[in-house]
Amino acid sequence: MRDSSRLTRRAALGLAAAAVPLASATPASADPAAVSVPAATIGGERLARTGIQVRGASNVPRLTARAWLIADQESGEVLASYNAHRRLAPASTLKMLFADTVLKKFERTERHTVTDADLAGIPAGSSLVGVKPGITYTVEQLWLGVFLRSGNDAVHVLSHLNGGVDATVAEMQAKAADLQALDTHVVSPDGFDHKGQLSSAYDLTLFGRHGLHNTDFRAYCATRTADFPAGGKKTFQIQNTDRLLTGAWGMETYDGLIGVKNGFTSHAGNTFTGAATRDGRTLLVTVMHPKSGGNGVYKETAALLDWGFASAQRAKSVGTLVDPLSEGGATATPTPKHAKAAGGAPASTAKGGSPWGLVGGAGGAVALLAGGAFALRRRGRKGSDDTAAAAEGRRPR
């Protein structure tokens, strides 16, 4: 096991700084459909606005998604967005944050024999890769189970290796605060439907961008198929559920696609963060909750990528993907008091917010740093309605 290395003093101070605007922000309304814009907006004030945000380019695809964002991987410039900070259920795209938090802690070749305790508490209806008690797996195999099959069983085993589910949730929340992903509230490491588990197109894009800087993360999310242990010397093949990568279910593969992570639950619907490279430029796209199921999230992602590559020279930045505080990232700048949404609508009427507001997003991380008492308990759930997923031949993720 690698040295998990405690947060440096610089990182700790950075996390505390991230919470400064949270403490002064007006608490969000209990009505999730009417959440005020925070006093400071991560990434720039235009990203606080509702509606499509774009400058210098035209013909932005008209999508059905409730939120989306497209950005340049290297520079972090946001080329266009729609409800970038709208808080929505993330489904398994939250596993990108799980990987950002845990991936560096264990050597790929480290081996672990799974116990019943490692698999306890996995929500009913979860997507599974097929981890079984008594079988020994390498850490690499478990991560392939996470990235390819979105296996909640593999997530729980890795979480137990990391000190337990609750400890992992607390670390994920602290990591989100360091990345300045303040729309994100973590309840479980697997992204499954739990009350209050929320993120945004902006935050998910941050997670993907940060992850792609890691060689292992990049390799796992780009893997199409792998052999997975079945006990003894037997294995079975697993395939990546990212349809833009594999071309499954009638979806054409996308030229230059790298990854990154897809998700589906009956509550969240479809979510996807994808990255592709053409002519030396890498673009990141996040699409959340399109109206159509099946291939809809992939088609809308492909449309945004096509637009981004075609408009690369004309599109002007409407915001930026900020750097982590622990790497010198600047904190949020104040949002103008009367920021206007697209079409002149007040930005303060953005829908889809969390009753936790920003306080739930990073306040827990600050509590963890200040007193070590931050521990989120997993909430139970009655199970998901898998009808839509079953009809399309897939499990919820």
Active-site annotation holder among 150, 188, 354, 384: 150
Per DSSP, which regions of the chain are E strands?
40-41, 52-54, 67-72, 77-82, 111-113, 136-138, 225-231, 234-239, 257-265, 269-278, 281-288, 319-320, 333-334
Catalytic residue among 81, 95, 127, 159: 95
What single-letter amino acid sits at 138? T
| Structure token pair of residue 162 | 């990391």
Note if 127 is an active site residue: no
- Torsion angle in degrees (nearest 10) through CA of 19, 24, 28, 29: 160
State the amino acid at position 371 in one-letter form: G
**92 tagged catalytic:** yes
Q: Which of 81, 92, 126, 384 is catalytic?
A: 92
**Pairwise CA distance, residues 363 & 365, whole Å:** 5
Distances (CA, A) of 161 to 102, 142, 341: 10, 11, 45
Residue positions annotated with a catalytic role = 92, 95, 150
